[in-house]
Structure 1
Amino acid sequence: MQLIIPDWANVPQNVGALSTTRVGGTSQDPYGDGSGGGGLNLGAHVDDAPQAVASNRALLAVVLPAEPVWMTQVHGSHVVDADSAAIGVEADAAITTRPGVVCAVQTADCLPVLFADLHGRVVGAAHAGWRGLVGGVLQNTVARMRQAGAEQIVAWLGPAIGPGQFEVGADVLTAFVDAAQSMQAEPQVLVQTRDCFRPIAARPGKYLADIYELARIALRQAGVEDVYGGGLCTVADRTFYSYRRDRVTGRMASLIWLK
C-alpha cells in the first residue's frame, strides 16, 4: 500500500492518522491503480467486486487498531460519536474520545479533513464536499470535539480536487456567499469567500473553486488556526481516485484514531 501520513506539527504521539491512495490493492480496472495493477478501492458502494473491497479493507486493517466506523456519507453536516455509532450510520463526520476507535471518511475528490486535539483526548474526521462545507460540517465537527473536551485543535486537509480543476457554476458561489451572510460573517470573510472563485474567461458563469481555501475559511470561523496539508490534487495526480476525472472509480479513505 502507498499511504500518506499527515504532515502536521505538535500532534501527540497517541494520535494515529493516515490517508490511502489507489495504489497497492486487489481491485481491477476501472478501480485499479491506474498503472495496470491492483487498486486499493475501499468503497463498497461503487460497483467494485465485493471480494476485492473486502480484501482491500483487510489489507488496510493490518495498520489499524480496529475496523473503521464506516459511515454512509450523504454530503451533509451531521457529526456522530464513533464510540457508539453503528457501521453504516448516515453522517459525514465522526469524533472519538476512546482509544482504538477509528474514525474514517471516504473520498474521490471531496475534501477529507482530519482533526486532533493537542492534548490527545479527542480526534475527528470529516467528509467535506462543497455541500458539506456550505452546510457547516467542519464547524459542526469542531463544536462536537469541544463538547467532548478538546481545547486546542489542529486540522489536516487531505487529497482533494485542486483549485485548477474544480469547475463550478454560479450557484455554488452564491451558496457560499449566502451561507457566510447567514452566519453574519465579517466583511473580509465575504471578500475571502468570493476570492476562492476564479472566473473562467472562456466559460461565462463558470468558476474554478478553491476547496482548500474555502475549508480554511470555515476552520478559521470555528477558531481553528493551525491547518496543514491541502496541496494534493486528486484530479491531476493519478495516484488518487477521482470521480470528476474518471466518473467510474474507487474511493480512498482518511482515518484517525487514539492509541
Structure 2
Amino acid sequence: MFWWREQVDDGLWVGFTDSTAGNLALHVGDDPGTVGRHRRALESALGIGDGGLRFMNQVHSANVGTARPMEPTEGPAELDALVAPGGDVPLGVMVADCLPVVFTANTGHGYATGVAHAGRRGLLDGVLVNTVRRLESAGGSGLRAWIGPAICGRCYEVPAAMQEEATAALPELRSETSWGTPALDLPAAAAAQLASMDVAVHRVDACTLEHPQLFSYRRDHATGRFAGLVWTEA
C-alpha cells in the first residue's frame, strides 16, 4: 500500500502510496464505488475514520485552500494545495507523474501541515511558493517538505521551446533525457525553489515512468492516481 512512509515527529506521519493501494482518484473514469473502497482501506491503514482524509479538485493551478476539522475546505473550488493550520486534518494530494509535495511546520501549539500538487505549470506559477507563504501566515516555522515520486529529469521529455520558456523562469528545470533530447527536472527545480525559501527538503526519489508500482500518465493515459499524505495519529 505504501511506497514510503515515516513518522517524522511524535504522532506526525508523512507518506506516499503506490499502486497496491489502488486508484484514489474519482476523475479518471474508475468506478466510484471502487475508489471509495480504496480510500476507506487507506484511511483504515492510517488509523483515521472513513471520509476523514481530505483531497482536492486539482487543476494545475497555484491555488491554496485551508482545511479545518468538521468544516468545508476554504478557498476556491479548484485547488492544487491545501493547508491545515492546526495540523489536525489528514491531507492527501493525488498524482501520476507530477510532484506530490508534503509539508510540515512547527507552530506555538503543535504543527501546521500541507500538501501540494506541482506539475510544470503549477511549479512555474508558484504553487509551492504560495503553500509556503500560507504555512508561514498560519504561524509556521521550521518548514519541512517531502518531495515524493514523480517523473524524473531523464524521462520528462518536452519540446525545446517549452524547455527554453520554463528554464528562463526556473533554470534548475533544465535537463536532458537519457536518449539525449530536451527535458525538465521537476524534482530538482522544486527542491531548489523550496531551499531558497529556507525550507528543509527531503526527497523520496523514484521515477513514476520507470517504476510500474507507481501510476504514470505518460506510461499509460488510462491510469490511476497515488497519493502524498500527511496525518497525525489519533
What range describes the TM-score normalised by the shorter chain of this pair?
0.7 to 0.9
Per-residue CA deviation, residues 121-149 of structure 1 (Å, 9 max, x unaligned), is 21111001011100111111011000001
Say whether residues 1:207 and 2:182 are aligned partners.
Answer: yes
User: What amino acid does structure 2 have at the position aligned with 1:81?
Assistant: T
Say whether residues 1:139 and 2:126 are aligned partners.
Answer: no
Q: 2:31 aligns with which of 26, 29, 49?
A: 49
Structure 1 residue aligned with 2:11: 14
Say whether residues 1:4 and 2:10 are aligned partners.
Answer: no
Structure 2 residue aligned with 1:23: 20
Provide structure 2 residue ranges, at least 5 long, that are not aligned to the other structure: none
CA 1:214–1:74: 2 relative to 1, 3 Å: same
TM-score (norm 2): 0.87
CA 1:200–1:228: 2 relative to 1, 3 Å: closer
CA 1:77–1:171: 2 relative to 1, 3 Å: farther
SS, match of residue 109 in structure 1:
coil
SS, match of residue 233 in structure 1:
coil
The 5-angstrom pairing of residues 53-92 of structure 1 reads 53-64=35-46, 65-66=48-49, 67-83=52-68, 84-86=71-73, 89-92=77-80
What is the CA–CA distance in structure 1 between the aligned matches of 2:6 and 2:191, rounded to whole Å? 16
SS, match of residue 54 in structure 2:
coil
1:248 offset after TM fit, Å?
0.6
Q: 1:235 aligns with which of 180, 204, 209?
A: 209
Contact 1:95 1:123 in 2 (8 A): yes
1:54 offset after TM fit, Å?
1.1
User: What amino acid does structure 2 have at the position aligned with 1:58?
Assistant: R
User: What amino acid does structure 1 have at the position aligned with 2:9?
Assistant: P
Structure 1 residue aligned with 2:230: 256
Structure 2 residue aligned with 1:96: 84
1:69 offset after TM fit, Å?
1.6
1:99 offset after TM fit, Å?
4.7
Per-residue CA deviation, residues 56-99 of structure 1 (Å, 9 max, x unaligned), is 11111103324222111010111111114439931000111235
Aligned length: 225
CA 1:153–1:21: 2 relative to 1, 3 Å: same
What is the CA–CA distance in structure 1 between the aligned matches of 2:179 and 2:38, rounded to whole Å? 43
Bigger mean CA offset, 206-215 vs 117-126? 117-126
What is the CA–CA distance in structure 1 between the aligned matches of 2:104 and 2:221, rounded to whole Å? 32
CA 1:41–1:61: 2 relative to 1, 3 Å: same
User: What amino acid does structure 1 have at the position aligned with 2:92?
Assistant: A
Contact 1:134 1:175 in 2 (8 A): no
Contact 1:69 1:85 in 2 (8 A): no
Contact 2:154 2:178 in 1 (8 A): no
TM-score (norm 1): 0.79
Contact 1:200 1:208 in 2 (8 A): no
| Bigger radius of gyration among the two | 1
CA 1:99–1:146: 2 relative to 1, 3 Å: closer
Q: 1:124 aligns with which of 109, 114, 117?
A: 114
Question: Identity rate of aligned residues, in percent?
Answer: 34
Bigger mean CA offset, 147-156 vs 162-171? 162-171
Bigger mean CA offset, 53-62 vs 88-97? 88-97
Structure 2 residue aligned with 1:173: 163
CA-based RMSD: 2.3
